[in-house]
Structure 1
Amino acid sequence: MALAYGFVDHGGPETQDLLEVDVPAPGPGQLLVAVHAAGVNPADWKVRAGLRRNTVPVSFPAVFGREVSGVVTAVGEDVSGFAVGDVVFGATAAGFGGYTEYTLLDATGTAHKPAEVSFEVAATIPVAAGTAFDIVEHLGIVDADTVLVLGAGGGVGSAVTQLAHATGAAVLGVASAGKRDLVGADGGTWIESGDGFESRVAEAAERCGAVTAIVDLVGGEVLDRTAGLSRDPGRLVSIADPARATALGGSGITRRRSREVFERVAGLVVRGLLVPHIERTWPLREAGEALAIVEAGHARGKVVLTIR
């Protein structure tokens, strides 16, 4: 058996608890991994709350999490390029979580961990940094752009800010006052969130250049109030509210959870072009506290569980 942290029904934090689960056997194309670290993301609590019912089917009890790093302990049939003992990171296979001592990864969505990258940092790549990478490539951000990032102080927002800044683009990062220093360290111009943020964005755009692309990580009314600030409504991407973004002329984002993408992002980390900010690490037995920080929106950058 393996220790895990999951939920037994859709709902609030009262559905969460430590669980004992069977150690799974890898099927064709899969790897069994002894998890060393797991990333904590807003999508984790949204799945628990039932907000992703249409896209993420759940069988109870369910284990939280989608991104991990660890060591391969068994290899399924039809897998090439991996062996027992390899140090890897990747996205968990469908139906399997990351907040656990052992999980399954699809070999096609797994990459070898560079020695220069810690287990904790590697566990932030598949979901948070990988999403940011896909957004920046989808928008085709270049040095002539001014990119507005809504929710710039979280894991994805921090990575988007860094990656867009690395292209030479100007970045306007909307975040709370407590995340001002983080936005600045990532290369962005901090814009305080809350009432009147649109006027603050407009003022900053007069100095940095008109907004040419919007990355939304908040959704709802905030997204509605921002859409008119861009010169090009088609260059609006939202992972928080893709349906609303589409109605406004933009789109959601198609994730590429592939070995190639993970290797490219890890390469950026090795080169120092992307520095995942980990606010704090938590042990598996305290996963509920870690998830509560993310659910409340208070995390500065990433929160990570250390399993081993």
Structure 2
Amino acid sequence: MPAAYGFTAYGGPQVQRFLDLPRPVPGPGELLVEVCAAGVNPVDWKVRAGMHRAFLPLDLPAVLGREVAGVVVQLGPDADQFAVGDPVFGTNDRGCGGYARFALLTTSRTALKPAAVSWTDAAVLPVAAGTAYDGIGRLAPKAGESLLILGIGGGVGVAAAQLACDAGVSVFGTATAAKREFVASLGATAIAYDSDDFGERLRKALPDGADAILDLVGGDALRSVAPVISMGCRILTVAAPETAARFGGRPLSRASTTETLTELARRVADERFNPRVSGAFRFEDAGSALAEVESGHPWGKVALDLRGDH
């Protein structure tokens, strides 16, 4: 039975495959978990494509995946804040290894999973929801202010919209026309970027400009909303720091600490936040799960559910 799903060389989907690898050994500040669910993110295929190799060098073959939820089975040195048998979720500092039956987590980026939170919901919180939480925290939109999210229909946008709406912020987001109702279900107003009258719709929705912008797309998408970038508009980007800098914006640096993850899980348990897992694939269908994310059109989050495979 394959232990992991990863890639043997940098390139396209053709380099992906199941791998028979030894069980990882936790180092200092690490936990070994038996994986119950793993999150599937755009960063995964970008790592496989070699887009991150300059700052994330990997020994190949490498296992895909950055975030998991599972049960602790072994503690590394200096990891005694957790115990064997704990249900946890998080990421690791190595940047990969999640599409596997056993994976390593870094204690400073790991939190206990509440019983009221499902394994798949917990598994998709660290990357997208963690990014959204850090972004909303940095932008600090106040109740009554307007926030424009570029790319609101993806995992980070879905999380950011809910977090901002919960704080009383008026949220608007760019998305395809097909996602208008989905965006509305988040409490936000969608502005279809694929409509002929996008500029008119944008100015009508934000006649006084946006107080804050969270850019999850970059490039032309950020330039296209220049008419509503008001004086004093606060801009954060995860995609195009150079373009954002032209408008006075800054890149978003993520933390996703244990405290952040604990707060996100609490909100899920209290039903104040929904990670919106749109698809849960079996481990044997890991390639299909990543293909759905790589297509660029998932609605919400995609996860691997390994519970039936143990």
Question: TM-score, normalised on structure 2?
Answer: 0.94
Q: Write the letter of the residue equivalent to 1:297.
A: G
Who is 2:212 aligned against? 213
Q: Write the letter of the residue equivalent to 2:46.
A: K
Give distance in 1, aligned partners of 2:106 and 2:88: 12
Give distance in 2, aligned partners of 1:188 and 1:104: 36
8 A Cα contact 1:39 1:68, kept in partner: yes
Give distance in 2, aligned partners of 1:210 and 1:158: 22
Q: Write the letter of the residue equivalent to 2:296.
A: G
SS at match of 1:231: strand
Give distance in 2, aligned partners of 1:256 and 1:131: 8
Who is 2:8 aligned against? 8
Who is 1:198 aligned against? 199
* CA drift at 1:196: 4.3
State how 1:109-124 maps to structure 2 within 5 Å: 109-124=109-124
* CA drift at 1:228: 4.1
Q: Write the letter of the residue equivalent to 2:73.
A: T
* CA drift at 1:97: 1.5
Q: Give the unaligned 5+ runs of structure 1.
A: none
* CA drift at 1:257: 2.4
- Kindly tell me the number of residue pairs found equivalent between the two proteins: 306
Who is 2:88 aligned against? 88
Give distance in 2, aligned partners of 1:32 and 1:150: 36
8 A Cα contact 1:227 1:233, kept in partner: no
Give the 3 Å change call, closer, same or farther, for CA 286–129 of structure 1 in structure 2. same
Give distance in 1, aligned partners of 2:211 and 2:7: 41
Give distance in 1, aligned partners of 2:243 and 2:34: 39
* CA drift at 1:98: 0.7
Give distance in 1, aligned partners of 2:134 and 2:108: 17
8 A Cα contact 1:65 1:99, kept in partner: yes
Give distance in 1, aligned partners of 2:62 and 2:232: 38
Q: Does 1:62 align with 2:62?
A: yes
8 A Cα contact 2:130 2:256, kept in partner: yes
Give distance in 1, aligned partners of 2:26 and 2:150: 39
8 A Cα contact 2:150 2:215, kept in partner: yes
Q: Write the letter of the residue equivalent to 1:204.
A: A
Give the 3 Å change call, closer, same or farther, for CA 152–22 of structure 1 in structure 2. same
Give distance in 1, aligned partners of 2:89 and 2:13: 28
Indicate the RMSD between aligned Cα atoms, in angstroms: 1.6
Give distance in 1, aligned partners of 2:129 and 2:286: 21
8 A Cα contact 2:210 2:233, kept in partner: no
Give the 3 Å change call, closer, same or farther, for CA 11–243 of structure 1 in structure 2. farther
Give distance in 1, aligned partners of 2:9 and 2:110: 29
Who is 2:266 aligned against? 267
Q: After the TM superposition, which parts of structure 1 deviate over 6 Å for at least 4 consecutive aligned residues?
A: none
SS at match of 1:212: strand
Who is 2:46 aligned against? 46
Deviations 1:259-287 (A, max 9, x none): 11110111121222211111110011111
Who is 1:37 aligned against? 37
Deviations 1:46-99 (A, max 9, x none): 111222233322221111111110000000111122111100000133154211
8 A Cα contact 2:135 2:236, kept in partner: yes
Q: Does 1:77 align with 2:77?
A: yes
Question: TM-score, normalised on structure 1?
Answer: 0.94
Deviations 1:213-237 (A, max 9, x none): 1111112211222244221466111
Give distance in 2, aligned partners of 1:111 and 1:145: 32
8 A Cα contact 2:219 2:240, kept in partner: yes
Q: Does 1:256 align with 2:267?
A: no
Give distance in 2, aligned partners of 1:90 and 1:2: 23
SS at match of 1:36: strand
State how 1:100-115 maps to structure 2 within 5 Å: 100-115=100-115
Give distance in 2, aligned partners of 1:132 and 1:218: 14
Give distance in 2, aligned partners of 1:159 and 1:226: 21
Give distance in 1, aligned partners of 2:260 and 2:95: 22
Quote the sequence identity (%). 45
State how 1:165-176 maps to structure 2 within 5 Å: 165-176=165-176
Give distance in 2, aligned partners of 1:227 and 1:251: 15
8 A Cα contact 1:2 1:102, kept in partner: no
Q: Does 1:304 align with 2:303?
A: yes
SS at match of 1:80: coil
Who is 2:189 aligned against? 189
Q: Give the unaligned 5+ runs of structure 2.
A: none
